[in-house]
Chains A and B, each alone.
Chain A
């Protein structure tokens, strides 16, 4: 299987996007600190492990820089297939300059992704985060081979923009109606955010709900946000055409769905406040029937 790896900045279509086609090493690590609190006169099995800090995931990757057209634009079609438009050919030094001037983080709001696609150019892995270190090295013994190493922290890059967008819905209840033509469906009922003293009007008026979904019983990535213009509450909507390939009665397909409310500003802000849809029993994994 041919895979491709991209380091991209910003949002779709990603520009600049750098295609890493000469990988030396990739290391994905997660740090999950736990503090032991062994009790006196007790066995090691009784040690109390306290998880006081959250996890930190980090990717270290390195590649060899060569003259190439690897600085380009990465876009994604409606069929979830990525396409990479190569840029103009650049030599090594021009690429280093481009990294220096355009790629490295400047603003705190600069967000990055590392995307790995399969032979069909579909996403198999994606992490969001930011670059914490980037180095370019060349040795006297091999003066024309430049190696690049990059340390990448996974996480949500804080949005400096304080967009005037709606809060997450108060509640989202999901269920799965019967599949049609072996394509699954998920219906969600949204109770809109009900904490307002009066409903937003004007520029802030809520236009409907946005949603995205991901298959969880097998490899899946989040779909791009889609919208449905409804304002009556509760809002009911059914997602159709969900792939359930490989699912059986004993091993059914499951999906997760996130729902947000949107107004005129969400699109410009590229920001939503999501809430997981849960089944009536409180599960976030929705079994597709």
Chain B
């Protein structure tokens, strides 16, 4: 009997298990690092075990015996089993969460589950649509190549004899429509009389029903138990053919409690809704869906001692039973013991290099809310609105489809903000996630679980107390490794090409008034920073003209595939803003265009086709001093002003005339800004704050702590606002010295996970909130070392990063340097 277990699995190229070792390790040392670095583990096994470099390895550490544990679902970010037997929810790659009406996580407030579970992130389940299909596993992996069980195969969750089941949950609905809420369904409807076992609750009538059928005899056992709106710790065991039911530690009477038959079948199991294998559909009449919060489900073969179950019931909640999952990368075999060095799945995932090559199998895609990806560029394809801006959680969701065959589970809810501009998925996945974490205003917990679940949610305060009662706490003093109060940040230098029509009129031998060059982004016109003018085309006034009559709405299908150099409304030239809007609708293939400036009917829109224009060139020697001289220029020409506006020199027209000319300006620009914005400075100075290269400082911290400067290169961000936000939030989060604490416990603390926000009480009795930054477990020393950090210091913890992924400014990935 041991509270820890090591599981080592070898698979063939098809993913089928070829070797599985389950044993108690002689020792294990696990370090969970969260966002800061990759988890790692060293473990020693006695030498007879068949393990090899490259094998998957898992470490399970529980509050009670792990030997007879056949399945445990903690509902921490997924429906994956943490017993080592992989009783996971069935999926076809890439992974998506089951559609059992998941509406999020519970545990933000005391009342959502209860005081005890606050901050433990448990699924809230509404199974009106469907439940969760759990793949059944068989002893000795006794399955065919297609995954189906061989004849006579015995399930790992063997219900032929004694077994024990524990369900901890909170039922949230006692509506009369939901009187058959299913917790567990291992009942095969496809046989004539049904075979197996199912457990259903009726919160309205306060009953729990167990149906057991060995294919011959069916027993329906009922117990009177109130489950509505309370946390239930339900234990059901069968010992020597007799079923017993315990609710919150008290045995409840069961009708028809004797059934010693073999309840095994070879169909998949189901959670939260009953499934009919005959009709291949969920049982909806009556509705068998569960409404409530799932906390933990456990299945054991054999019967646990009552004291063991009591131990579980009175223990603190647990998020993960499996503490480590990864691969063996080195084995030291001294013939007595094998020392295994293991790197985590988290390292593999977070270290995966993301680039345009990652998306070779699908170069372009449209995902949530119309956002698009082309290669590794995520962008808003509809510049007239903010609705299709790429959101962080959907970017992550999209990337995960192409990493590790899409096996990772992720609940796309956090981080939840959108980028203002394009986002380039480049660098390691850890780099990408860190950038998102900084830009997003919320503080997040972050973890990659051993069962390949990427779990990011907002930090929630828990009621877990760390104080001197159980821990030896060392204040590790002030820590300035992450302190930054001056930052020079460089984003990606974008290069975009844009064509824009500008209408202007000026007399011969004069410069026109400045015309703003504008680009529509997120529904606003912003000014591009011109890098290079590709071409300027000037209409000859006699080019192809299309006239369209309308009211305020004009049918523009005749203008499709054209670049309009000049447009008149009832004879008046459109402003550059109006013209850009018209061109945008044309380019989008819209059939109609709306012009708010006109009213009534019979309005005429006249459009000039730019293909009839002639190219003009910029003069090389245009300077401010000679721009008024009529003799300097012999041709029609143009000039880009320092404020990124454009002026035109009219050389050709007769002196007396004042003709309207249309110019199509094609240019390359690096970034955009809002010219009249006072954002970041006085009005008109905004362009500096929209630049992709920025410097920010936090003077209060500099005067208090001295200068702590960093250079950061963030090639994922190409929009100045995003760069600004990154720099701003980074410096806000990191401008102070951090206080760190190390808490050592002489027991295995299973109830904490990295990222949890706990209540830390110091020796003077003062309490503050701290976030668990890392956890180290040592077995058999039975020691847990926990590092606690400042609450705010959650986004971009560079303490380890400076060691693990230090990169210079010429790196292609996010990097940091410091002096």
A interface residues, Cβ below 8 angstroms from B: 106-108, 158-165, 167-168, 170-171, 193-198, 200-205, 264-265, 268-269, 273
8 Å CB contact of A204 from B116, B746, B782: B116
Task: Provide a sorted-by-A list of 28 A–B residue pairs whose CB atoms are within 8 angstroms.
Answer: A106-B1, A160-B3, A162-B316, A162-B747, A164-B314, A164-B316, A165-B314, A167-B465, A168-B467, A170-B765, A193-B761, A194-B765, A194-B767, A195-B465, A195-B467, A195-B759, A195-B761, A195-B767, A196-B465, A197-B461, A197-B463, A200-B116, A201-B114, A202-B116, A203-B114, A203-B248, A204-B116, A269-B314
Q: Is B110 an interface residue (CB 8 A)?
A: yes
Q: Which residues of B contact A160 (CB under 8 A)?
A: 3, 63, 747-748, 782
Q: Is B231 an interface residue (CB 8 A)?
A: yes
Q: Is B129 an interface residue (CB 8 A)?
A: no
8 Å CB contact of B746 from A158, A170, A197, A269: A158
8 Å CB contact of A201 from B115, B311, B750, B767: B115
Top 9 nearest A-B pairs by Cβ distance?
A195-B767, A265-B314, A273-B469, A158-B746, A195-B761, A202-B114, A201-B115, A164-B316, A204-B116
A31 to chain B, nearest CB (A): 20
8 Å CB contact of B750 from A158, A162, A198: A162
Q: Which residues of A contact B463 (CB under 8 A)?
A: 196-198, 200, 204
Q: Scan B224-264; emit 1 where CB is below 8 A from any A CB, else 0.
A: 00000001000000000000000010000000000000000
- Residues B745-778 near A (CB distance < 8 A): 746-751, 759, 761, 765, 767
State A158–B759 Cα separation when bound (angstroms): 23
CB-based contact B469/A164 at 8 Å: no
**In the complex where A158-B782, A160-B782, A162-B747 touch, is A268 in contact with B314 (Cβ < 8 A)?**
yes
Closest chain B residue to A161, Cβ basis: B311
B747 to chain A, nearest CB (A): 5
Q: Is B659 an interface residue (CB 8 A)?
A: no
Q: Which residues of A contact B782 (CB under 8 A)?
A: 108, 158, 160
Total number of B residues with any Cβ neighbor in A under 8 Å = 33
CB-based contact A202/B765 at 8 Å: no
**In the complex where A160-B782, A162-B316, A168-B469 touch, is A198 in contact with B110 (Cβ < 8 A)?**
yes
Q: Is B365 an interface residue (CB 8 A)?
A: no
Label chain A's interface by main secondary structure.
loop
Q: Is B498 an interface residue (CB 8 A)?
A: no
Q: Is B589 an interface residue (CB 8 A)?
A: no
CB-based contact B749/A162 at 8 Å: yes
Q: Is B523 an interface residue (CB 8 A)?
A: no
CB-based contact A164/B116 at 8 Å: yes
Q: Which residues of A contact B470 (CB under 8 A)?
A: 273
State A268–B1 Cα separation when bound (angstroms): 21
CB-based contact B231/A203 at 8 Å: yes
Q: Is B780 an interface residue (CB 8 A)?
A: yes
Closest chain B residue to A200, Cβ basis: B115
CB-based contact A201/B315 at 8 Å: no
8 Å CB contact of B315 from A108, A164, A168, A193: A164
B1 to chain A, nearest CB (A): 8
Q: Which residues of A contact B748 (CB under 8 A)?
A: 160, 162
State A107–B2 Cα separation when bound (angstroms): 8
Q: Which residues of B contact A167 (CB under 8 A)?
A: 465, 467, 469, 761
Q: Is B310 an interface residue (CB 8 A)?
A: yes
CB-based contact A162/B467 at 8 Å: no
CB-based contact B315/A163 at 8 Å: yes
- Residues B284-317 near A (CB distance < 8 A): 310-311, 314-317
A9 to chain B, nearest CB (A): 14
A258 to chain B, nearest CB (A): 13
Closest chain A residue to B109, Cβ basis: A198
Q: Which residues of B contact A196 (CB under 8 A)?
A: 463, 465, 759
State A196–B769 Cα separation when bound (angstroms): 10
Q: Which residues of A contact B110 (CB under 8 A)?
A: 198, 201
Q: Which residues of B contact A193 (CB under 8 A)?
A: 465, 761
State A10–B467 Cα separation when bound (angstroms): 27
Q: Which residues of A contact B746 (CB under 8 A)?
A: 158
- Select the residue from A162, A193, A204, A269 with max chain B CB neighbours within 10 A: A162
Q: Scan B456-492; emit 1 where CB is below 8 A from any A CB, else 0.
A: 0000010101010110000000000000000000000
CB-based contact A268/B310 at 8 Å: yes
Given A160-B63, A167-B761, A268-B314, 19 more A-B residue pairs with CB atoms under 8 Å apart are: A108-B782, A158-B782, A161-B311, A161-B314, A161-B747, A162-B316, A163-B315, A164-B116, A168-B469, A193-B465, A195-B465, A195-B759, A195-B765, A196-B463, A197-B759, A202-B231, A203-B114, A204-B115, A204-B463
